[in-house]
A and B are shown apart, each in its own frame.
Chain A
Amino acid sequence: MLKATVAALTGALLLGAAVPALAKDKTIAVSWKTFQEERWKTDEAAIKAAVTAAGNKYVSTDAQGSAEKQAKDIEGLITQKVDVIVIVAYDSDAILPSIKAARDAGIKTMAYDVQFEDPSALYITFDNIGVGRLMAKEVQKVKPAGNYAFIKGDKGDPNATFLFKGIMEVLGDAIKAGKIKNSCETFTDGWKPDNAQKNMEQCLTSTGNKIDAVVSENDGMASGVVAALKAQGMDGSVAVSGQDGDLAAINRVALGTQTVSIWKDATQLGKKAGELANMIADGTAIDKLPGVTKFNLGKKGVEMNSILLEPTTITKDTLDVAIKAGHITKEKACAGVKAGSVKACG
C-alpha cells in the first residue's frame, strides 16, 4: 500500500511541477529544534532544495535545544506571516500552544519527524513500526525457519519495544507454528555494541552455537553481534539485521556478514516534506494530500493526518541505492569485498 501511495505522490508532484506558476512567492518556514546533531543539516538541504525549486522562499529558525526559544521562534514566524511552518519539535507537549497560535493566525503546520499531537497539523515521518517489519521480513527471507536470537535495544527506550512489535507482527505466526524458535531474547543496555556482543556470546554459549538468524534492532549492535559470530566462525552464515544505514554496516552488508540495514534517508524525508509544504502553501487541504493516512498511535492517541514514508532496505542487491544517493562512497561500501561477489561493487 505504501508503495502505491508513494507512486501516487510522485505522480501528483510531477503534475505540480508542470504548473510552477501556482507556487510562486509563498514562504515556507522551518523551526528546527537543534543543529547539534549532524543529520538535521542533511534534512535542511533537502527541504530547502525542494522549496526553492518550486519558486518559494525558505526561511528557518534554530531553537538550539530549548523549548522556550522554539516558542519564541514560532511567534516570530507567525508575525512574519509565513504560509507554512514545518516544525521539528524539541518538546512535543510544550510546543502545542505555539501550534494553536499558528492555527489561529491561519498558518498551516507540519510535524516533521517528531510528532506533536494536534489534529490540524500534518505529521510526516518514516514508518517506525515498519522498520521492525522490514528487518524481520528480510531476515525471514534468508532463514525462513530455525533458531532466532533477538537483540533488542535499551529497555528504557520505547523505540526498542516499538521495533519489536513490528518484528513480531512478521514473525509471530512462524513462531506459533514452530517454524521459528525464539532461542534468546534480550534487551541491550544503552544500545551499546559491546553489550550486544556480550549478550550474543552468552546466547551462543547457552545454545551451543545453534543460532540461524539474529534480529538486531540497530547497526551498532549488529557490529557486536557479528564480532561474536566471527569468534565462532559463524559470520556470514547467520542472517543478521540492523538499521540506521551506518557506513560500517553497509560495508558488512557488502561483505555478507550482515543481511540487511534499514536506512531512513534524511534527504528523502526532507525532499518529501518540502514538496508537501509547497502543496499546502498552494492551498491543498491537508486531508486531501496524496498518500495521506490517519495516524493515532501517539501518546494521547490523537488522530492526525500523516504521511509515513517507507524506509530504504539496504541488502547486497540494493547496495547501489545508498551509493547513488551519496550516502556512502563506493570505495567505503566495498572495502575488502571480493571482486564479482557483489553487483554494486563490480
Chain B
Amino acid sequence: MTQSTETRSEPALAQEGVVTRFLRATEIDTRLLGMVGALILISVCFHFAGILRTGNGVFLSPRNLWILLVQTSSIAVMTTGMVLIIVMRHIDLSVGSLLGVIAVIMGYAQVYVLGPWLGVGHPAIWIITILIGLSAGALLGGFHGYLIAYAGIPSFIVTLGGLIVWRGAAWAIIRGETVAPMDETFELLGGGPLDASIKATGSWILGIIVCVVIVLALYFGRKSRQKFNFPLRPMWAETFLGIVGCGITLGTVLLVNSYYFPPKLANEYAERYNIPIPEDGFLLSKGFAIPVLIAAAAAIVMTFVATRTRFGRYVYAIGGNPEAAELAGINTKRITLIMFSIMGVLAAISACISSARLNAASNALGQFDELYVIAATVIGGTSLAGGVGTIYGAILGALVMQSLQSGMTLLNFDSAYKDMAVGSVLVFAVWLDQIYRRRAN
C-alpha cells in the first residue's frame, strides 16, 4: 500500500498479463504485498541510515529484529480484536486503560494477596493471576459491550469514559505505587528471563510443525475446492505458496536462532541445566520469545474466529450493513457484547505481557496504547467505515509502527521528530490506501 504498490502497479500496466495472472493464480492480497514491501523498505532505510551515521547498521541485526518482535507483541495482541471492533463500526478507546487497570489488579494480587497467602514463588501464583486478569478483562469488556449494545450508548462515548475511569481506577488501587517484582514464572510471559524463549531446538520443531500445517492446509484446501467445484489454483501456484510460506517460517526460525544470549547469561543457563560448557564458549540461541508466541497464537485464533466461525461472519455482516444484519435475524446486541468482552480478554493478555516484561505493574502501563492499537489497525487496512479489515494486516501495521519508533530511537532521533513521523505515516498510509481502493474499484 505504500511506495512498493505504486512501483508495482507501473510494470503491471506494461506487462499486465504476467503479473495479473500471477496474482490471480496465487490469490495473494496485493495490499498485503504493499505492507510487506513498506516494512522491508523501512527496515533497509534504517539499516543504511545507521551505517551512514554510526558506521555500523544494527537495524537488520538478528538482535534488533528479535527485540522488535517482542516490543510489538503487546500491541499486536490488541490489534487482533480492534480489527473486528472497527469492522463492526465501533471503536474501543479504552484498551490502554483496561490494560493498565488489569495489570495493576494482577500485580496487586501477586504481590499483596497471593504472595503472602501461598508463599512467594508458589507454582500456582501465575496461573491464578492470569485467571484473575482474564476474567477481569472479560467482565470489564463485557460491561462496555453491555452499555453499548443494550443501553444504546455510542461505543465512542462508553470507551472514552472507560479510558478515563479505568486509568483512575488503576491509580486508586495502588495509590500511584509501582508494584514489583512479579512472580518468577509469570515473568516468563514478558520474554525477559532465561527461560522465556524456546531456544534453538524448540524453534526448529515449531517451525517444522508450522510448515507441515501450511502444506496440509494447502492440500486440504484444494481437496475441498474440488469437492464443491470451486475454481482451483494452478498446481505451480500452490507449490509457490507452499515454498514461500515454509521459506518465511523457516527464515524466521533462522533469524530468532541467530540472536544469542550474552555469554554471562548463557553460562548461567548451562550451570542451571548442567550443560557442559565447551572450550570456545557456550553459544545459546534465544529462539522465539514467549510473548511473540502468545501474539502469534492470538492472531491465529482470532483469524480463525473471524473467517471460519459463524460469530466472525456475523461480525463482518454487521459491519457491512447493521440494519440488514439485524433484519436477517442476527442478534447484533449479543454479538456486540461478546466482541467487546473478547477485546477485554485481549487487553488482559497484553496486560500480562506488558507487566511481565517490565517485571512491575504501574498505573501508567498501557497509557496511549489505544492510539497505537487503532493506528496500527488502520495502517493495516481496516476501514473506519466498517465491514473491511484483516487481522494479518493489522499485525503488519503494528510492526510498521514499532519499526519506525525503534528505528528512530536507534538513530538517536529527538522524540519530538519521532512523534511527528509516526503521526504522518498514519495519515499517509490511509491516503495511499484510499487511492488503492479507488483504483481497485
Q: Which residues of A contact B (CB under 8 A)?
A: 37-38, 155, 184-194, 197-199, 201-203, 205-206, 209, 219-220, 223-224, 226-227, 230-234, 246-249, 251-252, 335-336
Contacts and interface: CB of A to CB of B under 8 A. Distances in A.
Contacts of A194: 354, 357-358, 365-366
A224 B419 CA distance: 21
Interface stretch (B31-39, B133-141, B173-181): B173-181
Interface string B162-184: 00000000000001111111000
Contact of A189 (B177, B190, B268, B368): B368
B358 A248 contact: no
B61 A205 contact: yes
B116 to A, nearest CB: 10
A198 B416 contact: no
- Chain B interface: which size bin? 35 or more
A234 B268 CA distance: 13
Interface in B346-370: 354, 357-360, 362, 364-368
Closest CB pairs A-B (n = 8): A248-B180, A233-B265, A202-B409, A233-B264, A187-B415, A231-B192, A248-B178, A223-B360
Interface in B60-78: 61, 63-64, 67, 71
B410 interface: yes
A227 B360 contact: yes
Contacts of A336: 181
Contacts of B120: 335
22 contacts: A186-B415, A187-B415, A193-B362, A197-B358, A198-B409, A201-B67, A202-B406, A202-B410, A203-B409, A219-B178, A223-B178, A223-B180, A223-B360, A224-B358, A231-B192, A233-B261, A233-B262, A246-B178, A248-B178, A248-B180, A335-B120, A336-B181
Nearest to B116: A331
B358 A209 contact: no
B192 A227 contact: yes
Main secondary structure of the interface of A (DSSP, over half): helix
Contacts, number: 108
B415 A251 contact: no
Given A186-B415, A209-B262, A251 B180 contact: yes
A188 B414 CA distance: 10
Contacts of B87: none
Q: Which among A155, A189, A202, A335 has the greatest number of chain B C-beta atoms within 10 A?
A: A202
Contacts of A198: 71, 405-406, 409
Contacts of A201: 67, 71
B410 A193 contact: no
Contact of B67 (A205, A227, A335): A205
Q: Which among A219, A227, A230 has the greatest number of chain B C-beta atoms within 10 A?
A: A227
Contacts of A224: 358
Contacts of A220: 178, 362, 364
B58 interface: yes
A269 B265 CA distance: 44
Contacts of A251: 180-181
A209 B263 CA distance: 12
Given A197-B357, A227-B359, A247-B178, 14 more contacts: A37-B176, A38-B175, A155-B416, A186-B409, A187-B415, A194-B365, A199-B409, A201-B67, A205-B64, A223-B178, A233-B261, A233-B268, A248-B360, A251-B181
Contacts of B415: 155, 186-189
A264 to B, nearest CB: 14
Interface in B413-439: 414-416, 419
A38 B262 CA distance: 43
A232 B265 contact: yes
B71 to A, nearest CB: 6
Contacts of B358: 193-194, 197, 223-224, 227
Contacts of B364: 190-193, 220
Nearest to A202: B409
A193 B365 contact: yes
A226 B358 CA distance: 9
Interface string B45-68: 000001000100010010110010
Contacts of A193: 178, 358, 360, 362, 364-365
Contacts of B414: 187
B362 A223 contact: yes
B226 interface: no
B321 interface: no
A343 B33 CA distance: 61
B300 to A, nearest CB: 25
Contacts of B239: none
A232 B262 CA distance: 6
A248 B415 CA distance: 28
B412 interface: yes
Given A199-B409, A227-B358, A247 B367 contact: no
Contacts of A203: 409
A248 B362 CA distance: 10
A189 B360 CA distance: 18
A204 to B, nearest CB: 9
A205 B61 CA distance: 9
B54 A206 contact: yes
A38 B181 CA distance: 23
Nearest to B263: A233
A203 B92 CA distance: 33
A184 B357 CA distance: 22
Q: Which among B177, B178, B193 has the greatest number of chain A C-beta atoms within 10 A?
A: B178
Contacts of B412: 184-186, 206
A205 B357 contact: no
A275 to B, nearest CB: 28
A198 B409 CA distance: 9
A79 to B, nearest CB: 36
Nearest to A183: B412
Nearest to B413: A186
A209 B261 CA distance: 12
A236 B264 CA distance: 13
A213 B346 CA distance: 37
